[in-house]
Structure 1
Amino acid sequence: MIEAVAAPEAQAPTVLYRAKQMARAVGLTRGRVAAARMACERHALAVGGRPRLRAGGRVLCYHSVGQRALGVNDVKPARFARQIALALDLGYRFVPASRIAETGGTANELAITFDDGHRSVLTAAAPILKAHGVPWSLFVVSGWCETIGSDRSASLLTWREIAELAADGVEIGSHSVTHPDFGRLGEAETIEELVASRAMIERRLGFTPTSFAIPLGQSMNWTSFAQKAARAAGYRTLYAQAEETRPAGTVPRTFVTAFDHDLIFQALLRGHFDAWEEWV
């Protein structure tokens, strides 16, 4: 009896499935591979990259401070405090992000922004920033703020806490309703994310935000239609999460990652990562 032999194309799914099983068995996941790649890229550019001269200020983009579940987006509290102190020691001064957005700022000016609305921004980052007298901005995902009582809500700021931050001088902007990739949204969905998030912030906090931080914020995460729709919705300032590769008409921001120790952070301030994108 002759046994049938599967064609190569029929064997491929089985081989791929087994490969994935083996990767999971040793702890390799897509997230971990991507994180390892990012760590290598950051170190290589910090050591071998070239500084980029700039006349204006730089807006830094953070996400959380001490929430390990957020992976590459999370900066440890001690490291965050060190970065603020190091920047000051290097002769930088911190100004509101709106100043750099409106005037371009000067070469020794930095601004601090946070995306999403994670709880550690209040519990860990805010005390450090207040101790140094550093102004900062927070861009909230309005739909996430409505998750009170869910498993996710414990890691996010409540509307009451955001209102307290605003009363303390923190600039509050929108980061959409659900944090989508605007590069993949249809026109109706794009308008809904922009308009509804702005309306919800006004309803919950009593003021209407005029700034918007693009979720993901890379070159492929925004469209010309989204740009026009954001302006029509009433946003005056649109922040990206990239420098030289950002979408046209947006304000650049430099992404700070979990891997940015002193060497990398200083290279970041000198512009070594200005042509770099997170997932490109």
Structure 2
Amino acid sequence: MYHAVATDPNEATRALSVTPEAFAEQMAVLAELGMNPVTTAGLAACWRSGRPLPGRPLLITFDDGYEGVHRHALPSLAKHGFPATLFVSTGWIRGPYDTGGGLDTMLDWDQVRELAAAGVEIGGHSHSHPQLDQVSDATLRFELVHCKEIVADRLGALPASFAYPYGYSSRRVRQAVRETGYAQALAVGNDLARHAQGPYALRRVTVRRGTDIAEFERVVQGRAITRTFARDRVLTKGYALVRRARQARRLVSCRAA
């Protein structure tokens, strides 16, 4: 899971960004290891149909829609013939639907179309990037449907895959994603994606600015993942309890009102 690919990101995106040079080196490592990237839709289709995946399959994904995915990541992907999946927050993409909420320089729709034409699957990532497990049913539906409709309008094809903003979901959110028509969805979880997780809770591992090449190589080979992301998992579990408590209080308040 990548976010920004940038030489000089702003403070809001720095920790979850990688430099163009680091990204190029990481793609070269994938090629040397004989990894075979597939799109999110391609992975899910194989698992649903029982068709075999290529040896050493891998997903390369980008969240939000930062301009560096086109400027810096696409040339490295093209060099190795790697497909990828970009999950766009439609209200952050520059153009007629821009809400001004983007955290750094964002893609525009021409660039998104060029990415799609180059073999990058374009998926949904909500419209305004809220914590979907904390919003009302009406807001949840708007975020999912509006995102899907905008992607279809700008690209001429409905998005098949979705990624939860911040990685947060709940049974209610996953059901809404399914009902909106997305065929699969990715969380974070900092673990390998497995068939048993189900199509709406597939996990990913985070690549950060501080991820050195040795750690990257270990992670993509499935080694030492538990140790590498131990702190992240503890924080994620703790915050999940906080979010569930907040949501419960909101429901009680709504019923009382």
Q: Is TM-score (shorter-chain normalized) higher than 0.5? A: yes
Distance 2:65 2:117 in 1: 16
Secondary structure of the residue aligned to 2:90 is coil
Whether 1:114 and 2:62 are equivalent positions in the alignment is: yes
Cα distance change of structure 1 residues 242 and 106 upon mapping to structure 2, 3 Å threshold: farther
Distance of aligned partners of 1:149 and 1:134 in 2 relative to their CA distance in 1, 3 Å threshold:
same
Check conservation: 1:173, 1:211, Cα contact below 8 A.
yes
RMSD: 2.5
SS of the equivalent of 1:139 reads: strand
Once the two structures are TM-superposed, the CA of residue 244 in structure 1 deviates from its matched residue by: 4.8
TM alignment of 1:255-270, pairs within 5 A: 255-269=206-220, 270=222
User: Which SS does the other structure have where 2:81 is aligned?
Assistant: coil
More relative contact order in 1 or in 2 (CA 8 Å, sep 6+)?
Answer: 1
C-alpha distance in 2 between matches for 1:250 and 1:115: 16
* 1:129–1:135 CA contact under 8 A, matched in 2: yes
Name 1:65's counterpart in structure 2: 5
- 1:273 paired residue number: 225
**Structure ID, larger Rg:** 1
Q: TM-score normalised to the size of structure 1?
A: 0.70
- Within the candidate set 162, 170, 174, 2:112 is matched to 162
Shift of 1:116: 0.6
- Which of 188, 202, 205 is the matching residue for 1:251? 202
Distance 1:205 1:265 in 2: 33
Q: State the match for 2:187 in structure 1.
A: 240
Cα deviation for residue 134 of structure 1 reads 0.7
Distance 2:134 2:103 in 1: 27
- For the structure 1 residues 80 and 238, does the alpha-carbon distance in structure 2 shift closer, same or farther, using more than 3 Å as the test? same
Q: 1:256, CA displacement in angstroms?
A: 0.9
Distance 1:80 1:162, change over 3 A: same
1:77-156 → structure 2 map (5 Å cutoff): 77-103=20-46, 105=53, 108-145=56-93, 146=95, 155-156=105-106
SS in structure 2 at match of 1:130: helix
| Identity percentage of aligned residues | 31
AA matched with 1:238: A
Deviation at 1:109, TM superposition (A): 1.6
CA distance in 1, matches of 2:176, 2:100: 32
User: What does residue 74 of structure 1 align with?
Assistant: 17
Taking the aligned partners of 2:99 and 2:225, their CA distance within structure 1 comes to: 39
Asked if 1:181 corresponds to 2:131, the answer is yes
TM-superposed deviation, 1:154: 7.3
Structure 1 residues 159-168 or 101-110, which shifts more? 101-110
Q: Contact 2:9 / 2:104 at 8 angstroms: preserved in 1?
A: no
Structure 1 pair 264/135, CA: closer, same or farther in 2 (3 Å)? same
Q: CA deviation at 1:103?
A: 3.0
Amino acid at match of 1:182: L
Between the aligned partners of 1:245 and 1:164, the Cα distance in structure 2 is 29
**1:201-235 Cα shifts (integer Å, max 9, x gaps):** 11222211111011111xxx211111111111100
One-letter code aligned to 2:177: A
Cα pair 1:101 1:251 within 8 Å, conserved: no
Q: CA deviation at 1:188?
A: 1.4
Count of residues in correspondence between the two structures? 217
Contact 1:212 1:239 in 2 (8 A): yes
TM-superposed CA distance for 1:110, in Å, is 1.4
8 Å Cα contact 2:99-2:128 kept in structure 1: no
Deviation at 1:168, TM superposition (A): 2.2
Equivalent residue, structure 2, for 1:19: none
TM-score (norm 2): 0.76
1:92, distance to aligned residue in structure 2 (A)? 2.0
Offset, 1:186: 1.7
- For structure 1, the residue ranges without an aligned partner over 5 or more in a row are 1-60
Q: Write the deviation string for residues 160-210 of structure 1: whole angstroms up to 9, x where unpaired.
A: 211122122221010000111112112111111111110111122221111
